[in-house]
Amino acid sequence: MPIPGIAPARRRRSETVGECVLRPSIDADGRVVVEELPLTLDLLLNPREGDQVTQSNEHERHLEPLIDRLRRFLERRRGWGVFSDLLIHWGKGLRKNSPDVAVIEGIGNPKAARGSLDLAKEGGRVRAVFEVVSTSTASQREKDEEHNLAYYARRGVEDYVLFYPPERRGSEDPALRVYSLAGGVYEEQEANAQGRFLMRTLGLWLSVGEDGEPILEVVATGERLLRSDEEEAGRREAERRVAEEAAARQEAERQVAEEATARQEAERRAADEAAARQAALAKTLLMVVENRGLPLSDDARQHILDCHDSSRLERWIEHVFKVDTLDDLWKVA
């Protein structure tokens, strides 16, 4: 359904992704018209505010995790921002452009919504630029590998990084090219033994995983930067482990309590059984004493009833037939 006030874009159908620039404009009737222009090197090097180069899904897939990780890493640095496809005004008379990803230091409000950034007005400094090389067109490739290489060096951008997506990488293309500024010109870095490149301005190691996704690690700590979804998954996993540990601890405590209760119950039953046995032995002894007609005073009766040593009561029962008085019985060990 047409949107009121928005004319349908004049689009040239093409199966090749990244071959056009979408340029909005106002027609004579005051309507916004989006025009599709064939991609040329001049359009890439001299964009207007609002221009949008069509990108492939693969292009966005490689940019999004990089932007997410960088923003999360730099969010605590005052005045640092990470921007994607932002039209940058480098200064009066200088060509404007829109890097895939630009890391900028020294701007007042990095999180403010903006369609462009005027470095002269806001006082910012571009510290690093990341480009995903579109190898499907010669103009895109020439822009990233040649024109921008010289341009960013003149603008003082300290690190310039080129990503080559695996699904579009040529047989001789690397996964990464990293350039560091030295003496006003770029020098291409060699990866270290671990396949990592050092970005001194950010304090990060940069490499590419087997899936083609960028890997960022903090130089000072070795910590690998996570995407938001990875960190959230890690947080949920940590919470799950904490909950499992708490449940296991509660179960262990329950088992300990049950064992203590069972032990107490066993001890109570044993005590009851011992008391019942002592009472039965005392009763048997008194009956034998009375049947034999031995003198039984109240103190002697109580002495028998107060004896809690079942073994002694058994010995008394055994010897009561061999004595003539209870005093002789008490002498039995």
**pLDDT tens across 201-249, in order?**
999 999 998 888 889 999 999 999 988 888 788 788 888 999 899 999 9
Place 52 in a pLDDT band, splitting at 50, 70 and 90: low
DSSP 56: -
Q: What residues contact 231, with CB distance under 8 A and at least 6 apart?
A: 72
Q: Is 276 buried (19+), middle (13-18) or exposed (0-12) by CB count in 10 A?
A: exposed
3-state SS assignment for residue 28: coil
Concatenated DSSP letters of 195-238: S-EEETTTTEEEEE-TTS-EEEEETTT-PBP--HHHHHHHHHHH
Average confidence (pLDDT) over 43-54: 60
Does pLDDT of 268 surpass 90?
yes
pLDDT tens digit sequence for 139-194: 778 888 888 889 999 999 999 999 988 777 777 888 899 999 999 999 999 999 99
pLDDT of residue 112: 84
Closest CA to 21 of 118, 103, 87, 114: 87
Q: Sign of torsion, CA 31 36 41 44? A: positive
**pLDDT > 90 in the chain, percent:** 50
Residue of 110, 113, 85, 111 lying closest to 99 (CA atoms): 85
Q: Helix, strand, or coil here: 169?
A: coil
Q: What is the pLDDT of residues 4-30, one digit of tens each?
A: 443 444 433 333 334 566 677 777 777
pLDDT of residue 9: 40
Q: Rounded to an integer, what distance in angstroms lies between the CA atom of residue 136 and that of residue 169?
A: 9
Token match 């064992």: residue? Answer: 259
In the 8-state DSSP scheme, what is residue 100?
A: S
Residue 216 CA to residue 70 CA, distance in Å, equals 8
Q: What's the mean pLDDT when you consider all of the chain?
A: 84
Tell me which residue of 227, 332, 223 sits closest to 285, measured CA to CA.
332
The full set of domains in the chain, from first to last, is 53-225 (3.90.1570.10), 233-330 (no CATH)
The pTM for the full model equals 0.60
Report the Cα 98 to chain-centroid distance in Å. Answer: 31
The one-letter code for the residue type at 210 is E
* The pLDDT of residue 8: 42
Ramachandran sector of residue 324 (left: φ over 0; alpha: ψ -120 to 50; beta: rest) = alpha
- Categorize the per-residue pLDDT at 49 as very low, low, confident or very high, splitting at 50, 70 and 90: low
Q: CA–CA separation, 175 vs 170, rounded Å?
A: 10
In this prediction, residues 104-114 reach a mean pLDDT of 86
- Please give the average per-residue pLDDT across 126-132, as a whole number: 94
